[in-house]
Structure formats: C-alpha cells, structure tokens
Structure 1
C-alpha cells in the first residue's frame, strides 16, 4: 500500500507566518502539525511507501525535515510550482503524482495540515475491511459550518449523497481530507480530469466518484482541525494542550500570566506580560505586553503594546509609544 501526504499549499491565509515555512511545520507543543501523520504511517506495516506532495518553494524544508526525523518511508514528489498562482489544483496534482511515481497499489491520501484525533492506521483498518473507496467523515456540529466543506449523506457507512460546499446542507457530516482508493480506483483521477471536471478541490472528485462506484465513510468522534487560519491553528493548540500553556525548557519567562492556548517556544523571552491564545515563536521577545489571539514569529521583538488577533512577522520590531 502507498500513501500520499498533501503538502503543496502556500497557506496564504496564515502569512507572514507561513511565507517561508510550510504550515505543516507549525509547532503544536513539542511536535509539528504533520508529525502524528508521519508517525502513524511509519509505524503501519501495511504502508510501504509515503510520498510527500509538495512544491519547489518548500522542497528544501522538507528535505531537511526528513533528514533530521529519521523516517524511512517518506520521499518527496515535487510539483513544479513556486507560487499560489501556478498551482495545478489538488486533483490535477494528485493525478500527476500517480503518473510521475507510477503508483498502482491501494493508496491512502491525507492532508498534511489536518490535526486528527484518530490514527491513520484506524482509517486503514476500515478501508481494508470495505475494499472500496473510502473517505473520513466528521460531524462539524452545525449546518452553517458544513457549507464550507463537502457534505455527506450515509446509509450504513455507504455514501449515498455528496455535495461540495452546498448553500443548504442536508446534514452537518462533512468530508475531511483523508481518503482511501483501491488500486483499481486510482486511475479514475485521470478519467475524471479527461471528462473536463473541476481539477481543484478533492470534494468534486468524491461527488463524481460515489455516483460511479460504491464509496464508504469512516466516521469518527473526537476532534478534527483543518488548520488554514490563525484561529484554527490556535484552536488546535488549545485542544492538544488540553487548555494548559506550553513553555519550552529553554524559554525564559518572568512575571507572566499565561492562559489557555499559549505556546512559548525555544529560546523565546516573555517578561511582564499577559498572554492568552498566543504563540511566541523561537527566539522572539515579548516585554510589557498584553497579547490575545496573536502570533509572534521567530526573532521578533514586541514591547509595550496590547494586541488582539494580530500577527507579528519574523525579525520585526514593534514598540509602543512612550
């Protein structure tokens, strides 16, 4: 069995934090967003090879990550883009990867910016049991939220309806970016594109697929975070840390109040400050501040200000008026 980890986006909604780093490498405590996915795939003996679908801009960062991580299965498969405007669309990129790497086995596809409360191996168990195309499904709790996703109707785990980003969802059960395709279905990506269908969002492909072959849903409880904005990133941090702040051993803190969802990372300094739902990246400095819903990137210096829903770019200096 093969696996593809989708990591080709440019995360423009998180700029400048992700201007020169893949968002999959944003820290969650002592790990990054993508670590649990790689750990699960590395440990599963049914998975032979893991292909990281990324772009030319971030290829070097992934090469360094793989060298330092010690994982044996992942290899890079690089699409020839360096900017958001050059992207092929997710389905086009997948079809090109399948051809480029000559994939012909059962294949798991998972987005590297998903924070999942289940192990990918649990999904593989269900995929193998059904021996048919499978999608992971999560109840987002409201039909209003569901309008941003592919909405699923199921009957005894079989997908009987799928609508991508509907205005009036039939349920709050949505598809997340975790899919399983048997070997005989993987070529349908190219068939779908040859028919002139939407090359971008995977949901359009699933909507097309389930009408042609039996497709099943792996529905899970717990939590799922589609990390595409600062707010969703902070939500994932708060969940993962169970509401407690995280302070790296090498960080310096003095006279601080730290509420839920706070991360102070390696070699950062925070003094005389109140922080809530805030990340202070490595080697950043925060002094005499009140910060909420704020990201302070590496090597930035912030002093004498109150910030809410803000992002301070790397190597920036922000000082309050005297």
Structure 2
C-alpha cells in the first residue's frame, strides 16, 4: 500500500523553531514527528511511502533516505514552488489506484488500514478522516433580526464541529482535477470533486488526534506522547 506524506510547508506557525529546521523533523520525545508517522505506517504494512518536500527538503531527505531503516521504500517529490496540500499530488508518478495522503505534522492513533478499507467499501472518490472539536466563545452571543431587535442571547456558548484530521484516502482519478503547477489546497480539491458529482466520504474517527502546527499544541504533544507512548509507537 502507498502513503503520501505532505512535508513541504514552512511551518510558519511554529516560528522561531522552524526558521532553520523543517517542521517534520521537530522532535516529539526521542523521534521526529515524521519518523513517528513512518513507524506507524510501516507497522501497518504501508511499504511504499512518498514524501512531498519543499522547505529545507535536503534535511528531510538526508534523515530518512530510502526508508530501509524502517523496512519501507521511501520516494520523494520536491516542490520547486509551494503547491499547497493538493497541488503537490500532481507531481506523483505511477501512484496506486487508491492511496493514503496525510500531513506530516499529525500525531494520531488512527488505524490507517481501516481508513483505506472503509474508503474502498464506500466506493468513494475521496475520503476525509474527521474528528469532533468544540469551540467555546468567551462572550455573550446575540441573535439580532433585520430590524435590529434581539432574538436570542447565549452566554459563552460552545459549538461543535467535525474537522478534518489532515488524513485522507484518494483515488488516482482525483489527480485529474488538479492542473499542472497549480497551488491548490485539499479543501478546494474536495469541493471540485463534489461539484463534479463525485462522492467524498467523511470517516468519523474517535481516535486521538493532534495537529502540532502551533507552539502550544507542539508543547502539548510532547507531554502526551511521553504519557501515552505505547499508543503511538508499536515496537
């Protein structure tokens, strides 16, 4: 099975850590976050891994090499210009009919094989792994009608959302919806698929998930990885 890891971003939200260091090599415990992902994939028999690089690509390629150390085959595609999360997929050559795609800064316990199998079972063109997040508003929120009169008043409400985990399964045909050299985000790709009448399935996950793109989340990841290491790394 093939997995594509998107590791070309500059990690601007993690500055100053990422000024001279690529975000996928940021350590979580004794491992770079990208190594944790590769170890997880290898344990689930993903034997072909393609890493899309850009910012400080040489450091990532030097660390991971051909993947022999983890029992996988690692290939690279390099963005000459930033292509965003979906645009980089146009650089893939000879990709499999269905393949996993994920951001290179995600700490999660999701079962990637089960995600791929569900994608196949649903017959979807693309599948998005989602999880629930709550957003609390620390103010009184008013509903106001067109005449300016109050219709509702809720003190410090909480809202519940299904959010993308940055983990997807795509069919090979999805690449046809991306133009050569186009900078395109994954949300826009899914909207194109939907507009074309293609099915995009949402895989609701109850697994642990943390995007380490921000400094406070990175610090939280350090603490929780040490506390629950066996859930992330299967030796």
Shorter-chain TM range is 0.7 to 0.9
Q: Does 1:189 align with 2:175?
A: yes
- Structure 2 distance, partners of 1:68, 1:192, is 28
Question: 1:176 Cα shift?
Answer: 2.0
5+ residue gaps, structure 2, are: 138-158, 229-235
Question: 1:192 Cα shift?
Answer: 4.3
Q: Does 1:138 align with 2:131?
A: yes
Question: 1:87 Cα shift?
Answer: 1.1
- Structure 1 distance, partners of 2:79, 2:198, is 32
8 Å Cα contact 1:25/1:33 also seen in 2: yes
8 Å Cα contact 2:4/2:100 also seen in 1: yes
Question: 1:90 Cα shift?
Answer: 2.3
Q: Secondary structure at the match of 2:203?
A: strand
- Structure 2 distance, partners of 1:221, 1:188, is 27
Question: 1:209 Cα shift?
Answer: 1.7
1:83-128 per-position Cα deviation (integer Å, ceiling 9, x unaligned): xxx4122222111x22xx2324211101110111323233223223
TM-score by length of 2: 0.75
**Mapping 1:152-231, distance limit 5 Å:** 172-182=161-171, 186-193=172-179, 199-211=183-195, 212-231=197-216
Question: 1:56 Cα shift?
Answer: 6.4
**Counterpart in 2 of 1:118?**
110
**Counterpart in 1 of 2:146?**
none
**Counterpart in 2 of 1:2?**
2
Q: Does 1:242 align with 2:227?
A: yes
**Counterpart in 2 of 1:32?**
32
TM-score by length of 1: 0.56
Q: 1:125 to 1:37 in 2, by over 3 A?
A: farther
Q: 1:188 to 1:65 in 2, by over 3 A?
A: closer
5+ residue gaps, structure 1, are: 145-169, 244-322
- Structure 1 distance, partners of 2:96, 2:209, is 30
**Counterpart in 2 of 1:43?**
43
8 Å Cα contact 1:175/1:203 also seen in 2: no
8 Å Cα contact 2:57/2:78 also seen in 1: no
1:212-253 per-position Cα deviation (integer Å, ceiling 9, x unaligned): 21221111124321111211101222322339xxxxxxxxxx
- Structure 2 distance, partners of 1:20, 1:230, is 16
Structure with greater proportional helix content: 2
Question: 1:201 Cα shift?
Answer: 1.9
- Structure 2 distance, partners of 1:49, 1:68, is 9
Q: Secondary structure at the match of 2:101?
A: strand
